[in-house]
Amino acid sequence: MAVKKDVRQVLTANLLKDGLVVFMTDGAAWSPWIEDAAIATSKESALELEGRGNIAAKANVVVGPYLIDVIEENGRPRANLIREHLRTLGPTVRTDLGKQAERAAGGSGQGGAFI
């Protein structure tokens, strides 16, 4: 018999206005930080996140919302797949730009503001 896998997913998308990778929070806002993401721990809560993402897509706030699997690493969510983990970091060709640079400078991204 197969072992039941714990469901841990977050909803990600890209902002329509600038293409920034974002994650849906508990308050249905969008944050550039995966640590702020609402984590679905059941099929039902994952479907609820998807529904909220689809509403935001229809309102032209984000494009392409979809769920990704996450694992907990050092008490923080981390994308399970390398492709998705790279999306959380920002541009990989210039680590002096994007989210890596903001974190290195002690910033929290967009002044901690949610979209």
Dihedral angle of Cα 88, 19, 41, 26, to the nearest 10 degrees: 110
pLDDT score of 97 more than 90: no
> In which band, very low, low, confident or very high, does the pLDDT at 84 lie, cut at 50, 70 and 90?
confident
pTM for this entry: 0.76
Judge residue 76's burial from the number of C-beta atoms within 10 Å of its C-beta, 0-12 exposed, 13-18 middle, 19 or more buried.
exposed
Which neighbouring-strand residues pair with 14? 21, 63
- Average of per-residue pLDDT across 40-69: 96
Q: What ranges do the domains of the chain cover?
A: 9-107
Q: What is the pLDDT of residues 39-49, one digit of tens each?
A: 999 999 999 99
Place of tokens 């690493």: 73
Higher pLDDT, 33 or 113: 33
pLDDT recorded at residue 8: 92
Other Cβ atoms closer than 10 A to 41: 11
- Mean pLDDT over each residue of the chain, to the nearest integer: 83
pLDDT band at 111; cut points 50, 70, 90? very low
Closest CA to 50 of 72, 36, 35, 68: 68
Q: Which amino acid belongs to residue 79?
A: A
Whether the pLDDT of residue 23 is over 90: the answer is yes
Beta bridge partners of 66: 12
